[in-house]
Amino acid sequence: MNGEHRLRRVVIAGGGTAGWMAAAAIARTMGRTVELTLVESEAIGTIGVGESTIPPLVTYNRLLGINEADFMRATQATFKLGIRFDGWKNVGDSYFHSFGATGKDHWSAGFQHFWMYGREKGHDRSYDDYCLELIAAREGKFAHLPDDRMNYAYQLDSSLYAKFLRSMAEVDGTKRVEGRIASVELNGENGDIAALVLDSGARIEGDLFLDCTGFRALLIEQSLHAGFDDWTHWLPCDSAIAVQTESVRPPVPFTRAMAHDAGWQWRIPLQHRVGNGIVYCSRYLSRDAAQDRLLGNVEGRVLTEPNVLRFVTGARRRQWYRNCIAIGLSGGFMEPLESTSIHLIQRAILRLIRMMPLREISASDVAEFNDQQNQDMAQIRDFLILHYKATERRDSAFWRQCAAMAVPDTLAQKIELFRESGRVFRKNEELFAENSWVQVMMGQGISPRAYHPVAEKLTDDELARLLKLLRDEVTRTVAKLPEHGAYVVQYCGAARAVAA
């Protein structure tokens, strides 16, 4: 065995959030079993706008043994309990997509069935009132609770996160090489990548290459031509502009997604500043008009020049091709509507570590990796399309196009199932759980016509007691929580935090 070639040399092309998330996880998990090199150039900027995350990042950081308070202090992070969607169902409407569960499910049916039966019986309280995370977000409160009862994520500075992970990865043995990649050298015999050639002439050889070069997809597409599926016909926004502003108030524990007549705008409060951006379809809104709209709808002094991005929504057909794996934007892009960009980086990295080759790359591993990655992206794609398709807005050509468009069969089936019966089924460990689909579908105006008959098993008194018990538990818990801004300062306050 000692004489056999082992697949040891792992080369990461590109830094940023994707590159350093990969380096930190591989170095910490694999240790000396791999020789890990990351190539990046200080001259190449990173996108760095992905500041809102979802709960699996909490697990990712724990897997790496990261101290949460240290991480949040270093990244100027705040806590996030969900997203408030303004103007998506119709102009003037709002709803929350929160983390965690709503009410209490029965094994045979989700809580929404009991809530719908209750509405029929005259109980008129909102579905929102039964969700701890949602009410805490609305009231601007947060604290860690015993048994991880509060589900949360982070609002963070992604460029600071990359720096935090870099210091960790380098301590764990990652070698960083400064330089711009001039060309990718292929093996003339098998077509695999043999080395990265830098501007300096240096060659970085490897056995396995991770493409973290962002939209350029320098390895996976420009060199290996893995192919790309364009999803613009379902997700028509193709442009974004991002700016940072001063904080003018304590940070709230949620992200805002504010719809406008050609897309939407985000607002993400960190400790030291606020991240803002506008996402739009250039067919219906010009760049100058979008920038004016963004700058006219921010709070606080603008701290940065507008960062303009153009993108094509879609996915790489083969995320792992030959000896190259796409991580992050090189593997595809879906707009940040549900904060899934960092999550997709994380999923790809953890999946790769589980399938890390010993001597040679297994075709079965590659096929399984691609199947799982493609399934992840298609399921997230469908969830994002839902926000555009299920709308009552007809006030602009953009929204009329979205409402009229045909959607993937997988999404059409999910919408019809919920509309007819109130049911949602989570398939193959998909990211968004039943409660996420229920909150967004009802928030976007899809009302089920029926509920599960098991709800009628409860007498009127039993139903009233159950609903009151669940509401009261949420109310009592939220009443005891501190203000989010004050909790952040006490738990992980950075030097320039805005105190409550």
Would you call 321 helix, strand, or coil by DSSP?
Answer: strand
Task: Determine the pLDDT at residue 213.
Answer: 96
Q: Is 13 helix (H, G, I), strand (E, B) or coil?
A: strand
Alpha-carbon gap, residue 229 to 388, rounded angstroms: 20
Shared domain check, 207 and 274? no
Residues 449-480 pLDDT 10s: 999 999 999 999 999 999 999 999 999 999 99
By the 8 A CB rule, do 45 and 17 touch?
Answer: no
User: Are residue 174 and residue 277 in the same domain, yes or no?
Assistant: no
Number of domains composing the chain: 2
Q: Is the same domain home to 26 and 95?
A: no
183 and 329 fall within a common domain: yes
Say yes or no: 100 and 218 in one domain. Answer: no
Which residues 6+ apart lie within 8 Å of 43 measured at CB? 180
* Angle of the 434-443 helix axis to the 409-421 helix axis, nearest 10: 80
Active-site annotation, residues = 80
Does 107 share its domain with 177? no
Question: What's the gap between Cα 366 and its chain centre?
Answer: 24
For the CA atoms of 106, 110, 114, 120, the dihedral, rounded to the nearest 10 degrees, stands at -160
203 - beta bridge partners?
A: 197
Residue 374 tokens read as 């493609």
Identify the burial level of 147 via C-beta atoms within 10 angstroms of its C-beta, where 0-12 means exposed, 13-18 middle and 19 or more buried.
Answer: exposed
Residue 351: φ, ψ to 5°: -65, -40
Of 99, 113, 102, 97, the closest CA to residue 423 belongs to 113
What's the whole-number mean pLDDT along residues 248-259? 97
Q: Secondary structure of the chain in the HEC alphabet?
A: CCCCCCCCEEEEECCHHHHHHHHHHHHHHHHHHCEEEEEECCCCCCCCCCCECCCHHHHHHHHCCCCHHHHHHHHCCEEECEEEEECCCCCCCEEEEECCCCCCCECCECHHHHHHHHHHCCCCCCHHHHCHHHHHHHCCECCCCHHHCCCCEEECCHHHHHHHHHHHHHHCCCEEEECCEEEEEECCCCCCEEEEEECCCCEEECCEEEECCHHHCCCCCCCCCCCEEECCCCCCCCEEEEEEECCCCCCCCCEEEEEECCEEEEEEECCCCEEEEEEECCCCCCHHHHHHHHHCCCCCCECCCCEEEECCCEEECCCEECCEEECHHHHEECCHHHCCHHHHHHHHHHHHHHCCCCCCCCHHHHHHHHHHHHHHHHHHHHHHHHHHHCCCCCCCHHHHHHHHCCCCHHHHHHHHHHHHHCCCCCCCCCCCCHHHHHHHHHHCCCCCCCCCHHHHHCCHHHHHHHHHHHHHHHHHHHHHCCEHHHHHHHHHCCCCCCCC
Are 468 and 393 found together in one domain? yes
What is the tens place of the pLDDT at every residue in 403-423? 999 999 999 999 999 999 999
CATH of the domain at 102: 3.50.50.60
Q: What is the CA radius of gyration of the chain?
A: 23
pLDDT of residue 331: 97
Domain-embedded: residue 188: yes
Residue 317 in any domain: the answer is yes
Residue 491 has pLDDT above 70, yes or no: yes
Number of other CB atoms surrounding residue 340 within 10 Å? 26
pLDDT digits (tens, 9 = 90+) for 107-128: 999 999 999 999 999 999 999 9
Are residues 496 and 411 located together in one domain of the fold? Answer: yes
Q: pLDDT tens across 146-199, in order?
A: 988 999 999 999 999 999 999 999 999 999 999 999 999 999 999 999 999 999
Q: Do 108 and 177 fall into the same domain?
A: no
Identify whether 152 is part of a domain.
no
Confidence at residue 428, expressed as pLDDT on a 0 to 100 scale: 76
pLDDT above 90: percentage of residues in the chain = 93
CA distance 46 to 160: 12
Per the listing, tokens 């951006």 go with 277
Task: Specify the residue for token string 């001063």.
Answer: 246
- Residue 292: inside a domain, yes or no? yes
Does 481 map to a domain?
yes
| Domain, as residue range, for 252 | 83-142+239-309+389-500
Closest CA to 440 of 191, 2, 133, 83: 83
Segment 22-73, tens digit of pLDDT: 999 999 999 999 999 999 998 766 555 558 999 999 999 999 999 999 999 9
**How much is the average pLDDT of 257-285?**
97
pLDDT in tens, 227-246: 999 999 999 999 999 999 99
- Interhelix angle 363-389/434-443, nearest 10 degrees: 30
Q: Is residue 126 part of a domain?
A: yes
Instruction: Assess whether 187 and 296 both reside in one domain.
Output: no
In a domain, 370, yes or no: no
pLDDT at residue number 111: 97
Q: Give pTM, 2 decimals.
A: 0.95
Mean pLDDT of 284-300: 97
For residue 75, tell me if it sits in a domain. Answer: no
Contact 393, 425 (CB under 8 A): no
Same domain, yes or no: 439 and 355 = no
For residues 247-270, give the mean pLDDT. Answer: 97
Same domain assignment for residues 449 and 468? yes
Are the CB atoms for 98 and 81 separated by under 8 Å?
A: yes
